[in-house]
Structure 1
Amino acid sequence: MLSATPIFTVNADLAAILRFGRTPYGERRVIDIEGGTVSGARLKGRILRGGADWQIIRTDGTADIQARYTIEADNGGHILVSSEGLRHGPPHVMEKLGRGENVDPSQYYFRTVMRFETADPAHAWLNNILALARGAREAQSVRLDVYEVM
């Protein structure tokens, strides 16, 4: 069961895609996370520069996503985020996303499993939960609505 509403929303600003080409695992890409915001009832803050999204585009077109980044909460506490997920959809929809066009997120699947680590007592509750996020890819950003797994 998931929380009825998102516990917070991540809006991450992204750099251009760095393409490595086809490796033995698939088409490898890295997208630096340049900043962003976190807003919601249980967490507010900003995303610090220095994180990235490492992707492998599988032969079936699915993006296998592994992201690591840091949130600075509004109280100054730091929260490490580890997120792994999948994004896929019909080829014509994924081509639109690839061109940076806005696509209704209901037209493709974008989900991540999230874990957190912090020494901040005000946000220590994050150390003991798993979260699922429903994502939306925009031209230069990603939005994740984050739900607590109950």
Structure 2
Amino acid sequence: MDRRTVLGAGVMLAGLGVGPAHARESGTRPAPALVHVFSVTVSIGAPQELGIVDGARKRVIPITGGEVRGPRLSGKVLPGGADWQTIRSDGVADILARYTLQADDGGLISVINPGFRRGPAKVLARIANGEAVDPSLYYFRTTPRFEAAVPGPHAWLTCSVFVCSAARYAERVELDIFEVG
């Protein structure tokens, strides 16, 4: 096939809305914006160390309660959830927290919150020792997903993407939840 045939086929496909020419015509997509929707203070118990499993340190941190406050949601964290952590050999904590929120109106919201915490070894050691450490000295981000009754007053949580900036303290974790717009 010669060059003119290939170019002609490309022009024809572009006219049909297929291929790179069509992608350029669709315009620039807006960058996502973050909107703070609520904050959560999660009370935690002492870590339960499972030991080395499949080459990584495993532990479970019980969730004992907490508070939810913000412009879009207020309520409490119910006791009974946990944060299952895998501490990798490079010091990164691979986190999977599961717990339940109860809104002020009584509605229940299930939270599934995976993420990562990482930072310089000295900073992570201070956190492990229960010291209060400035959250800007380490990375702690999660991507929470919510389950709530649909339809219902909290259904908005089930159809958007959320990100979280977090901080770890001796007896609590503080989370700022943002909706990605």
TM-score in terms of structure 2 length? 0.80
Structure 2 stretches of 5 or more lacking a match?
1-31
What SS is found at the alignment partner of 1:122? coil
User: Which residue does 2:16 correspond to in 1?
Assistant: none
Q: What's 2:70 paired with? A: 40
Would you say the 8 A contact 1:25–1:56 is kept in 2?
no
Residue 149 of structure 1 deviates from its aligned partner by 1.2
Q: Helix, strand or coil: the match of 1:48?
A: strand
Which amino acid counterpart does residue 53 of structure 1 have in structure 2? D
**Two-structure CA RMSD over aligned residues (Å):** 0.9
Q: Distance in 2 between matches of 1:125 and 1:14?
A: 27
Aligned to 1:13: 43
Structure 2 distance, partners of 1:106, 1:3, is: 19
Distance 1:3 1:64 in 2: 24
Q: Distance in 1 between matches of 2:157 and 2:54?
A: 36
Contact (CA 8 Å) 1:2, 1:147: kept in 2 or not? Answer: no
Which residue of structure 2 aligns with residue 118 of structure 1?
Answer: 148
Q: Which residue of 2 aligns with 1:92?
A: 122
The count of residues paired between Structure 1 and Structure 2 equals 149
Which residue among 17, 26, 33 is the counterpart of 1:2? 33
> Offset of 1:94 from its aligned partner?
0.3
Post-superposition Cα deviations, 1:102-132, rounded to whole Å, max 9, x if no partner, equal 0000000000001001116111100101210
Higher relative contact order (CA 8 A, sep 6+): 1
Q: Distance in 2 between matches of 1:133 and 1:84?
A: 10
Is this contact kept in 2: 1:80–1:116, CA < 8 A? Answer: yes
Code of the residue aligned with 1:24 in structure 2: it is D
Provide the residue aligned with 1:75 in structure 2: 105
Q: Distance in 1 between matches of 2:38 and 2:111?
A: 13
Going by fraction, where is strand more abundant, 1 or 2? 1
Percent identity of equivalent pairs? 48
Summarize deviations over 1:19-71 as a string: whole Å, max 9, x none.
01111051000001000000000000000011000000001000000000000
Match of residue 139, structure 1, among 162, 166, 170: 170
Partner Cα separation in structure 2 for residue 123 and residue 3 of structure 1: 19
CA distance in 2, matches of 1:31, 1:111: 17
More helix by share: 2
- C-alpha distance in 2, partners of 1:8/1:36? 13
